[in-house]
Amino acid sequence: MSQTPAQAGTVYLVGAGPGDADLLTLRAAQLLLEADVLVYDALVSAAVLDRVTPTAERIYAGKERGNHAIAQEDINHLLVRLAKEGKRVVRLKGGDPYTFGRGGEEVETLAASGVPFEVVPGVTAAAGVAAYTGIPLTHRKHAQACVFVTGHLQDGTMNLDWPGLARRRQTVVIYMGLHGLPTVCAKLIEHGLPADWPAAIVQQGTTRNQRTVTGTLASLPKLADEAQLKAPTLIIVGETVTLQSKLSWFEHQAWLGN
């Protein structure tokens, strides 16, 4: 059964995926061609923006470290206003709207304001980057659980459940953790993981700028600094990182220009 066209006066929270435009869902691609207004984040790639109808008004609402184009509360109210003006609004978010995308906060405001909405899931960065990097999130021999956390909390701290994260037989994925990488590694060692525990950091995964740096909790901060990686990045910690050299495929193709 085909999805209905975008309706006037409705907000669509759409996941843009981790960067590669071919990872958009069919529903997301349809809505990008039907939008009256596009409100998009910093993590939305240029390749995805190229799929948006040229007639749509574009409003940048990105949040970069220390630089928020529009405050979150103002974004919430902007979406309400645009919908009440009768617009078909696509709120485009990197990855998945409900995975560290503040989608829940925005939908709360829409629901409270009586604005119709639809949430279109996207390939979250952990799934996309893991696949393109060659690091399985789970593996029968190495990890039977996977935990997603954010390296940047609302109050700017990194007060995570370190004992819960510093466990064997699981993969830990840290979003937005580039600047906090030394703290992440030190805390995991402090709470029980060995210094030689496998860890990786991936720059701009699923795009032509993808770069993967692998090492250990002890060595990764220095290796990442030497590599001069640029955000967005994803940190992956766990024994499945040891499979990366064997299972990597995308970066080899990118280097060959395929």
In-domain check, residue 2? no
Are residue 188 and residue 244 in the same domain, yes or no? yes
pLDDT value of residue 214: 98
What pLDDT band is residue 19 in, cutting at 50, 70 and 90?
very high
Higher pLDDT, 148 or 158: 148
Are residue 132 and residue 235 in the same domain, yes or no? yes
Are residue 164 and residue 208 in the same domain, yes or no? yes
CATH number, domain at 71? 3.40.1010.10
- Of the listed 20, 22, 63, 141, which one is catalytic? 63
- Domain of residue 175 covers 125-256
Active site residue 187: no
Q: What number is the average pLDDT over the span 27-35?
A: 98
- Pairing label, strands 88-93, 37-40: parallel
In-domain check, residue 64? yes
Domain boundary among 102, 120, 138: 120
pLDDT tens sequence across 152-170:
655 556 789 999 999 999 9
In-domain check, residue 1? no
For the chain, the residue count is 258
Domain boundary among 65, 85, 120: 120
pLDDT value of residue 152: 67
In-domain check, residue 5? no
pLDDT value of residue 18: 97
β-bridge partners, 147: 172
What pLDDT band is residue 66 in, cutting at 50, 70 and 90?
low
Q: What percent of the chain has pLDDT over 70?
A: 93
Domain boundary among 120, 155, 186: 120
Q: Rounded mean pLDDT of the chain?
A: 93
Min mean pLDDT across 17-21, 33-37, 159-163 is at 159-163
pLDDT value of residue 188: 97
pLDDT tens sequence across 68-91:
578 999 999 999 999 999 999 999
In-domain check, residue 57? yes
16: exposed, middle or buried (C-beta count within 10 Å: 0-12, 13-18, 19+)? buried
CATH number, domain at 191? 3.30.950.10
pLDDT value of residue 1: 45
Active site residue 41: yes
Distance CA 74, CA 19 (A): 26
Are residue 131 and residue 105 in the same domain, yes or no? no
How many domains does the chain contain in total? 2
Half-sphere exposure of 144 (CA within 13 A, CB side): 4
Min mean pLDDT across 41-50, 111-120, 130-139, 249-258 is at 249-258
What is the model's pTM? Answer: 0.92
Q: What number is the average pLDDT over the span 12-38?
A: 98
Half-sphere exposure of 196 (CA within 13 A, CB side): 0
Structure tokens at 54: 């040229």
pLDDT value of residue 75: 96
What pLDDT band is residue 62 in, cutting at 50, 70 and 90?
confident
Are residue 174 and residue 228 in the same domain, yes or no? yes
The answer on pLDDT for 17 being more than 70 is yes
- In one-letter notation, the amino acid at residue 120 is V
pLDDT value of residue 230: 93
Q: What percent of the chain has pLDDT over 90?
A: 88
What pLDDT band is residue 198 in, cutting at 50, 70 and 90?
very high
Distance CA 131, CA 135 (A): 7
Are residue 112 and residue 186 in the same domain, yes or no? no
- In one-letter notation, the amino acid at residue 85 is E
- Of the listed 20, 22, 36, 41, which one is catalytic? 41
